[in-house]
Amino acid sequence: MANANRKVCTSVPKAGIIGAEQQEVDLLREKLTGVRFFESAGMPFWEGELGGVPVAVARCGVGKVNAAMCVQILADRCGVSAVLNTGSAGGTDSSLGVLDMVVSSDAVFHDVDVRTFGYAQGQVPGTPSPFFVADGAMRRAALQVFAGLDAEFYAALEQEAASVLASGCPQETPPADPHLPLRRLPRMKEGRVASGDLFVSDEGVRAGIVSAFSPACVEMEGAAVAQAACANGLPFLILRNISDLAGNGSGLSYTDFSWWASRISAAVVLRMLGVAESWLPR
C-alpha cells in the first residue's frame, strides 16, 4: 500500500527515529542538542536536533503493538513529518550475510491471515493491500549514504573496537573480534520486510514465510511501523541489520553483533540526516 496521503509538514520538518537497540539509541542521543525528554506508554522519547535537523528519537521495545504506539506518539505529540525505523532482523535472502543491511521496499505482516473473508494473505482488513510501500526518496537517501561507508569507515570502527578492548572500560562491552567488518564489508540491499509477533527460529516457519511473501528479512516491528505511518500520512523507511539467517546461527555472539550493528545503523541515520533536504517533507 503506497502512502497516497503523504503529509505535507506545515511547521518545522522533524524526523521521527525509532531505534530498537539501547546502544544504537544511546549513540544518537549522545549527539542530540537542545534535548527535551519525556516518557509515554512506558517508552522513552528524546526531542532535539541532530546535525541541525529537528528530530524525535524513541526506543519502542519489542513487538507490533509497541511499534504502532510509538509511531502514533511521534505523530501526535512530537509532530514528526517522516519516520525512520532501525533495528535487527533475521535474513531470509540467501545473498545476505551478517551485518548486511536491508532497506525496505515494502513491509508485510507474515502472521495476518484473513483469507476466509476474501482478503489476501497478510492483508489487514480495511487496508487496500498486504504491502505497505516505503518512501522512495528515503530509500534513495539510505542507499546513497550507505555507499559512503567504505573501508576507511570500517577501519575507523576497528580502531574504536581495539581501543575499547585495550581500555577495559567497564561501562562498555567491547566486541570479541575487533576486525569483523573488514573480513567482508557489509552491503545494503533493497527488499521486503516481513513482520510478526514471533521470533522466527524454526526452519519450517521460515520456509513458509519465504514461500508466501519472498521477504529479504523477518522481524517483529517493521510492518506495524509502516501501517501506523501510512495511517498518519507519514513517509517511512525501515532499516534492518542482519543478525542471523532466521533459524540458522551465524556463530557471532549477540554482544558482538549489537556493538557493530548499532554503530553502522547510527552512521546511516546521521548521514541520512545530512541529506535530509532530499527526503524530509517541507
Under the phi-then-psi rule, with left for phi > 0, alpha for psi from -120 to 50, and beta for the rest, what region is 30?
A: alpha
49 is an active site residue: no
Looking at residue 34, its amino acid is G
Beta-bridge partners for 132: 107
DSSP the chain: ---TTPPPPSSS--EEEEES-HHHHHHHHTT-EEEEEEEETTEEEEEEEETTEEEEEEE--SSHHHHHHHHHHHHHTS--SEEEEEEEEEE-STT--TT-EEEEEEEEETT---GGGTPPTTPPTTSS-S-EEPPHHHHHHHHHHHTT--HHHHHHHHHHHHHHHHHT-TTS---S-TTHHHHS---EEEEEEEE-SS----HHHHHHHHHHH--SEEESSHHHHHHHHHHTT--EEEEEEEEE-SSS--S--HHHHHHHHHHHHHHHHHHHHHTGGGTS--
202 is an active site residue: no
Non-local CB neighbours of 170 within 8 Å, separated by 6+ positions: none
Of 47, 106, 135, 244, the active-site residue reads 244
Of 21, 24, 47, 219, the active-site residue reads 24
Q: Which of 191, 196, 193 minimizes the C-alpha distance to 62? A: 196
Distances 157 to 88, 179, 194, 217 between C-alpha atoms, Å: 19, 9, 30, 25
Catalytic positions are 24, 244
